[in-house]
Chains A and B, each alone.
Chain A
């Protein structure tokens, strides 16, 4: 298993977020985490990244505890923060040079291949780019890192339909070999539908379901993933 979470219980103050949450993700799978606002999607991402210590339970990424990942394991995990956040004081070339020295499997050509599709110069600062362009820089850096596991928090956030499509297609191409594992969340379920093998639907405090996306779709013939999600979790 690439991701294993056992008996995760977490509270913010006295408010219960989850109790005894269990899930795992196999190698080569793309898992989509769906849930309404406030169900704790970002909390799970933070626990997986090692930036939140749950009250109880533990999570392992590539066999290591998430809050004690070794440098070698970190190099195998690609992280996309909500809003495609990057070090925006760098320009396009500087940021590639910066990251390239950290990651042993760095593939510069993957970054530049993606950047060629954008109308940007190598000296353009990231903070002067549109959200869509920044998303491509962030994705290009992830591809260049060549990680075994990608954790993408709300990858559609702030993107127009064109950039969403570009992001999804680039990601599909990158994961086509079946060797990469992806854990992602998004507010736009249509985008996830094009990508995911498995899905987890979160409700307040618990996992409502965790199953292969195909099985879920077959159980609800003629319905989109979005319709199934609304049916299972209620409109509001």
Chain B
């Protein structure tokens, strides 16, 4: 039964996932090409100096991409369920309703986490060819909040989409946008490091939000 539910989610999201994989790949190639070009133009020593003194990051193109990934995954998963109230068919399956929803949420979270892990691994491995461990470590802490925004954005988007009342959706969107801004502080590399744990805990708590929307849907709100 779980396989069948995951199969349904895959059918809904496969085109979006393919498209996003292409976009992430293109952004990665572009980032490395741009960095290579900078190094060739200014020389490695000058480039390192600029990097350390001014705190320039290589991967600013990626800043909002993980968040977009989370939101797009939620849209492709839940808009078809809400359209014409197909969610009634899903919740009528002979499985406990919470398990059905948790399975759907875990699928979406898995998509965002797998994308994030692969992207971070590829980017940092690429950097490790030309840069010392300290710079790679700083870059990791710098970009990590952006990638944490992916599952958080996914869960908030799922919460808003499943909410049955349109005007409440707007009310949910305002605090969601405010909450997401915490993931995008323009702090110096490493400055966000102590807050990462709180962002991670916040993201885990967000799992309860779509479940609340489901309860409201079930009550016919």
Contact of B94 among A53, A81, A94, A103 (CB under 8 A): A103
Contact of B95 among A71, A83, A97, A98 (CB under 8 A): A71
A57 on the B face (CB < 8 A): no
B218 contacts A67, CB within 8 Å?
Answer: yes
Which of A44-52, A109-117, A190-198, A222-230 is found at the contact surface with chain B? A44-52
The docked-state distance in angstroms from the alpha carbon of A141 to that of B92 is 14
Interfacial residues of chain B within 1-23, with CB under 8 A of chain A in the complex: 1, 3-4, 7-8, 11-12
When distances are taken between beta carbons in the complex, the residues of chain A under 8 Å from B85 are 51, 81, 85
On whether the beta carbons of A102 and B88 are closer than 8 Å, the reply is: no
Map CB proximity to A onto B59-101 as digits: 1 under 8 Å, 0 otherwise: 0000000000000000000001000111011011111100000
Q: Please, which residues of chain A bring their CB within 8 A of the CB of B94?
A: 71-72, 74-75, 102-103
- Would you call the interface of chain B mostly helix, strand, loop, or mixed? helix
Taken together as a complex, chains A and B put the C-alpha atoms of A89 and B89 apart, in Å, by: 14
| A15 at interface, CB cutoff 8 A | no
Q: Which residues of B contact A49 (CB under 8 A)?
A: 88, 92
Determine whether the beta carbon of B219 is less than 8 Å from that of A83. Answer: no
Decide yes or no whether B132 CB sits under 8 A from chain A.
no
- A67–B8 alpha-carbon span in the complex (Å): 25
Q: Enumerate chain B residues within 8 angstroms of A46, measured Cβ to Cβ.
A: 220
Is B89 within 8 A of A102, CB to CB? no
Q: Which of B12, B91, B95, B217 contacts A102 (CB 8 A)?
A: B95
A72 to B86, CA, bound (A): 21
Instruction: Look across to chain A and name the residue whose beta carbon is closest to the beta carbon of B96.
Output: A71
In the complex the two chains form, is B8's CB within 8 Å of A98's CB? yes
A87:B93 contact, CB within 8 angstroms = no
Q: How far is the CB of B146 from chain A (nearest CB, A)?
A: 30
Taking a contact as CB atoms under 8 Å apart, the answer to whether A83 and B84 are in contact is yes
- From 166 to 219 in chain A, residues with beta carbon under 8 angstroms from any chain B beta carbon are none
Chain A residue at minimal CB-CB distance from B8: A98
Decide if A79 is an interface residue (CB 8 Å cutoff). yes
Minimal Cβ-Cβ distance residue in A for B84: A85
User: Quick check: is A90 within 8 A (CB to CB) of the other chain?
Assistant: yes
